[in-house]
Amino acid sequence: MEALIGLLLFSAMLALYVPALSKEWQRLEQARRQLQYWQVFYNLSKLHSHEQSLDMSDAQLIKQLIERNANCPIQSISLESDFYQITFQGGQHYEVILEDWELSP
């Protein structure tokens, strides 16, 4: 009888814990995916600024970026001198506008 009560209490605790754990796993997975997208975007901007000095075409740069990040679903990439934009297949959209700025004293 005591074992049955203990089992019921343990089951009730698990019933409360498992949904919260599942929700946290989903949140962590979403954060990991978003971090991966930002990492791809960072690599894009780093490659673009580096490859400009090597005079590589944007098509070659985009091909190289997609090959390096084959597990990340890139839909489109736009490169301009002061504007980077990348769109992933899930609808995530990242863009950065580069501006010159100075620190004031």
Model confidence pLDDT, tens digit, residues 31-69: 888 887 777 777 766 666 665 555 556 666 666 666 666
Which residue bears the tokens 């009560």?
5
**Which backbone phi and psi does 86 adopt, to 5 degrees?**
-140, 135
pLDDT digits (tens, 9 = 90+) for 8-28: 888 888 888 888 889 999 999
**pLDDT score at 33:** 81
CA pair distance 93, 105, nearest whole angstrom: 36
Q: Which residue has the tokens 């203990």?
A: 6
Tell me, what's the pLDDT at 35? 83
Which tops the pLDDT comparison, 78 or 105?
78
pLDDT score, position 49: 63
The pTM assigned to this predicted structure is 0.48
pLDDT at 10: 86
Q: Which two tokens stand for residue 69?
A: 């990040």
Nearest-Å Rg of the Cα atoms of the chain is 23
Q: For position 20, what pLDDT does the model report?
A: 87
